[in-house]
Structure 1
Amino acid sequence: MTKDFIYNNPSQETMRQLYKLCVFSAVIVMSCMAHIAQAQDTPAKLLKQGKEKSAAKEYKAAIALFDQAIKLDGKFKKAYYHRGMAHFKLEDLQEAVADFNRIIAIDAKNAMAYAGRAQVKYEAGDNEGACEDIKKAGELGFAESSVYIKKYCR
């Protein structure tokens, strides 16, 4: 009989302890949720961080960040573009071309991918390929193509 009475009619002290436990639990849950939200990187956030690393000429670190963004979104053209440019800066021309090719496979009308690939081909000594790509970039709306056509297409 005493047991039933305690469970059905808890004392004020028991109620205070339960209230404190609930508040403490809520604080813990909210804190965990905040940490999880902060820890989750989005492709856009990783792209921004990668661009900052590229601007600081920390290309390997930038590539690692672009890799993470691409892992989260395999069709993230901007991440491929900036990773391609970082590879280009490191003179890894094969990887740079591969990234521009990936963009073109995703979006065959991406003028910047053709312009980037033209730049890499030109550096690799493929003037004819660079000329084809920059002309294609121009057809797709790359505003500065005429400047590069003069440079690549002789």
Structure 2
Amino acid sequence: MFFKSIFQGNLQFGNEKSFEKVIKMYDHRVENYYKNDILFKVEDIFQQEDLSLKIPRTVTNITEKNWKNSVDLLQYVAQFAISGNIGVWMTEEGKILKYVWIEPKGDKAVVQKFLKGRSLVNQVGKEKEAKEALSNAIELYNRHAQAYERRGYVNFLLKKYHDAERDFSKSVNIDASNAPAYYGRARIKMLKEDWEGAIEDLELAIKTSLALQDIHWSARRLKGECLQTLKRYEEAEFEYRFFSRRSFKDKSPNLIYKKWAYFNHGRVLIELRKFTEALDSLDKALKLTSGQEYVSEADILVYRGMARKETGKNGFLSDWNQAKKLGSIQAEKLLENMT
């Protein structure tokens, strides 16, 4: 039986001795362990010019045995790498059957410094320690794209935006497929109100990630926000609609933004004078309980009242009165204009 499988990523080996050793071991295992029942040959993925293993996005139908053999071999050679990562998915009708994230986890100093820094990134109060460990990894290997991206994120948390943007840029200059770095740089451009520049980076984040990954949808959400700010409503509507209709798993960081996305989808549809569709999105926004920290009930009621009024439905005054009670100045003004 064949399964749709996706491979994407790269591994860096840092020096020619390690690189040549890995190639020999890879070739030996292909012939003697896996009897050539493997997806990638040496000449397909090993790059002499930068001592790396690179797998551009590869979508193929293979047997479960071939998938397992290919994953096992990539995991084996990853222990000799010093940076990079490879994502592997097995899917059926859009559902993930198997997923493996392959990265170096050996005892080399550069690997350990990076893993330590990455583990500290999201620990409150450990930002400086995280930055120090990631900087140590970069000192040991100055082409560590993942360390630059994670250090950029730490600098972002510390509000050192110039340093963060520099790190994100260094990351994508080394690895043009590093979606989180494009996403991080886009967030900084949004803070600077460089909406066009942010959209460019978000499009790169979308292009270099898969719809199976959370970063892909986070980038689409922010792209919608940028387009909405620029009053490019039709394009924004597409992004919000796409995001809103996506089913996210409970642990997905995108799930909490569904309420916000439905709300902004409704706002954009009102701008496009598609009031019936707007009403549907705003109703859905009100029904969701999670994500209230990103959009207030009062704001949703204000816009649902607008949509109800424009579609000739009753209840718009009730929406505005309720929003007024919740402290909405906009609702108060709308009610005053009705008298």
- TM-score normalized with structure 1 length: 0.67
- The residue identity in structure 2 corresponding to 1:127 is W
SS in structure 2 at match of 1:125:
coil
SS in structure 2 at match of 1:148:
helix
SS in structure 1 at match of 2:216:
coil
Q: Which has the larger Rg? A: 1
Q: 112, 121, 141: which one pairs with 2:180?
A: 112
Q: 131, 155, 167: which one pairs with 1:63?
A: 131
Could you say which residue in structure 2 is the equivalent of 1:46? Answer: 113
- The residue identity in structure 2 corresponding to 1:42 is A
- The residue identity in structure 1 corresponding to 2:136 is Q
| 2:227 maps to 1:150 | no
- The residue identity in structure 1 corresponding to 2:201 is D
Tell me, yes or no, if the aligned pair for 1:77 and 1:103 is still in contact at 8 Å: yes
* Distance in structure 2 (CA, Å) of the matches to 1:76 and 1:106: 8
SS in structure 2 at match of 1:139:
helix
SS in structure 2 at match of 1:74:
coil
- The residue identity in structure 1 corresponding to 2:114 is L
SS in structure 2 at match of 1:94:
helix
Deviates further, 126-135 or 140-149: 140-149
Q: Which consecutive aligned stretches of 4+ in structure 1 deviate over 3 angstroms post-superposition?
A: none
* Distance in structure 2 (CA, Å) of the matches to 1:66 and 1:124: 26
Tell me, yes or no, if the aligned pair for 1:121 and 1:129 is still in contact at 8 Å: yes
Could you say which residue in structure 1 is the equivalent of 2:189? Answer: 121
SS in structure 2 at match of 1:143:
helix
Tell me, yes or no, if the aligned pair for 1:93 and 1:124 is still in contact at 8 Å: no
The CA deviation string for residues 93-148 of structure 1, in whole angstroms up to 9 with x for no partner, is: 00000001101211223222211111121123322211111012112225213222
SS in structure 2 at match of 1:133:
helix
Work out which structure has the larger RCO, using CA pairs closer than 8 Å and 6 or more positions apart in sequence.
1
| 2:171 maps to 1:103 | yes
The RMSD of aligned alpha carbons is 1.8
Could you tell me the percent identity over the aligned residues?
A: 29
Deviates further, 81-90 or 124-133: 124-133
**Alpha-carbon shift at residue 41 of structure 1 (Å):** 6.0
| 2:206 maps to 1:138 | yes
- The residue identity in structure 2 corresponding to 1:126 is D
* Distance in structure 2 (CA, Å) of the matches to 1:93 and 1:107: 21
**Bigger proportion of residues as helix:** 1
**Bigger proportion of residues as strand:** 2
* Distance in structure 1 (CA, Å) of the matches to 2:119 and 2:191: 24
Structure 2's unaligned 5+ residue stretches are 1-106, 210-214, 229-339
SS in structure 1 at match of 2:193:
coil
The CA deviation string for residues 33-90 of structure 1, in whole angstroms up to 9 with x for no partner, is: xxxxxxx861221112112322222111111111100001111111111100000000
Could you say which residue in structure 1 is the equivalent of 2:240? Answer: none
Deviates further, 62-71 or 137-146: 137-146
